[in-house]
Amino acid sequence: MSNPSNNKHDNTTGTSETSGGKASGGGTLKSPLFWIAFALTLGAVISWLPLSIIAKRRFSTSNKPRIRIFQDMAAQPKYRPQATSPIFADGRAMRVPVTGTVSFGDVQEDDHYYRGYKLAESPQQQGKFEATYFKGFPQQVTIDESFIRRGQERFGIYCAPCHGVDGYGQGTIHLRALELQQTTWVPPTSMHTDTVRQREAGHLYNTITHGIRNMPAYGKQIPVKDRWAIVAYLRALQLSQNAPVSNVPVDKRPTLR
């Protein structure tokens, strides 16, 4: 709505000019173009508002905690790693485990099951410890078909990429390294050499746990029991390529080719 004074003004100017009421009204009332420009400018200015608020928030600091709509226990008194604390004499918030204690479930006393070898002082050299690998499997594992199948599956995931599904060392990673002509590439050992066939079960287990020479360790990724399952499968795999005739029943032997 236009105010009355404007209207009066309108009328006086309208009569004095020849162009008529319509045109004179447009002259004093702002034209639609003006309002469009005005709205656009206003919109442009307002559109910067969120950006400037965000910018301010990003670069200014505050002692007040952030606004959290969902608390999720995030805002509670706590110490972050490596933080300091006035409570303790040494000023460290992180405490050292009490000497001589082992956290629950972390005792790994069984050498055979957890390590695959035992350490004993060398009879020749005092103070020098030597590892003796266990030949067989620990009592914690029962070797049956499902255990070996588990090992087969794990072998397929963790070992076959390098050693190949058949264990001859022609895994896809190896083939790719050849393709790239990697000069520093050490080929994965075949599982069907006399050396590996004669390795104690504990030695194979330890190879998985800690790696060997150029092979990386898989102890962090493969749980203890699965490592033994892989060893069990390795034995089956080796047998598949190296079965003695004595394994074949006598009456079946003539059918062998």
> Quick check: 196 binds ligand HEC (CB under 6 A)?
yes
Rounded to an integer, what is the distance from CA 73 to the centroid of its chain? Answer: 25
Distance CA 223, CA 158 (A): 12
CB of 212 to ligand HEC, least distance (A): 5
Q: Is 133 in the site for ligand HEC (CB under 6 A)?
A: no
Among 188, 201, 202, 235, binds ligand HEC (CB under 6 A): 188
Q: Is 93 in the site for ligand HEC (CB under 6 A)?
A: no
Q: Own/partner pairs for 61-68, CB < 8 Å, 24+ apart?
A: none
Would you say 132 and 118 are in contact if contact means Cβ atoms under 8 Å apart? yes
**CA separation for the pair 160, 211 (Å, rounded):** 15
Our CB check for ligand HEC shows the closer of 131 and 212 to be 212
Q: What is the DSSP string of 195-209?
A: HHHHS-HHHHHHHHH
Q: Does 24 bind ligand HEC (CB under 6 A)?
A: no
Give yes or no for residue 151 binding ligand HEC (CB under 6 A): no
CB of 189 to ligand HEC, least distance (A): 4
Nearest CA to 219 out of 108, 101, 130, 135 is that of 108
- Rounded CA gap, 164 and 45, in Å? 65
Residue closer to ligand HEC (CB basis): 93 or 131: 131
Please report, as residue ranges, which positions from 226 to 255 form the binding site for ligand HEC (by CB under 6 A).
Answer: 230, 234
List contacts with ligand HEC (CB under 6 A).
158-159, 161-163, 173, 186, 188-189, 195-196, 199, 204, 207-208, 212-216, 218, 230, 234
